[in-house]
Amino acid sequence: MNHARMEQEIAELRRQVAAQVNMGQRPAPQRPIAYEDGRNMRNFLDLVELEFLHLGIGARQRMAQEKMIEMMTQNVRQGDHNAYSARFAAIVSQGVAMTPEQLVGFYLANLPEEQCRAITQGGMRKFTGWQEAATALNTSEAPWEVTHEEWLR
């Protein structure tokens, strides 16, 4: 671009801003435009979420962390580990975001002590997410399910 032309455009822009200030008008704040350049999808999703919130579209109600913790403490395993995991997943999907370590702790807290010790190998095994702990519980329960089904027959 020509340097002289750029100077003219800057001078014109300054005149426009000065005129708006003198008239009591201010330029409308520019909202970021959501776009994806392929480097970081999280930024794009955050911008889109802000646009939706600004427009009032899809404002999703989330339960407070205290309510979420209360519901997780009431979700006690009562025999069926699949139902326990499904209820836990439903609570997590409705609530606020928590760290994976917190979710693992809440998931393991409502298991009977002997099961918790078995899947954590006496506290030596650490899980990266509650889903991994659920898979370990499912694996530890599989042999018992077959025995239980045979006993029921």
Q: Could you read off the pLDDT of 91-139 as tens digits, one per residue?
A: 888 777 778 888 888 888 878 787 777 777 777 778 877 778 778 777 7
Residue 101 lies in a domain: yes
Residue of 17 and 151 predicted with greater confidence? 17
The residue range of the domain holding 30 is: 3-55
Q: Specify the pLDDT at position 43.
A: 67
Assess whether 77 and 143 both reside in one domain: yes
Q: At what angle do helices 65-74 and 100-109 cross, to 10 degrees?
A: 30
Residue 12 lies in a domain: yes
Domain count, the chain: 2
Residue 60 lies in a domain: no
Assess whether 76 and 146 both reside in one domain: yes
The yes-or-no verdict on residue 73 having pLDDT over 70 is yes
| CA 107 to each of CA 35, 84, 124, 134: distance values in angstroms, whole numbers, following the listed order | 37, 9, 17, 8
pLDDT, one tens digit per residue, over 30-62 is 555 555 566 666 666 677 777 767 776 655 566
**Closest by Cα among 29, 64, 61, 35 to 47:** 35
Assess whether 76 and 148 both reside in one domain: yes
Q: Specify the pLDDT at position 138.
A: 75
Confidence at 148, pLDDT banded by 50, 70, 90: very low
Task: Compute the Cα dihedral for 34, 35, 40, 42 and give only its sign.
Answer: positive
What is the C-alpha separation between 72 and 110, in angstroms, rounded?
Answer: 8
Q: Specify the pLDDT at position 104.
A: 84
Assess whether 43 and 100 both reside in one domain: no
The yes-or-no verdict on residue 7 having pLDDT over 80 is yes
Assess whether 105 and 132 both reside in one domain: yes
Assess whether 49 and 69 both reside in one domain: no
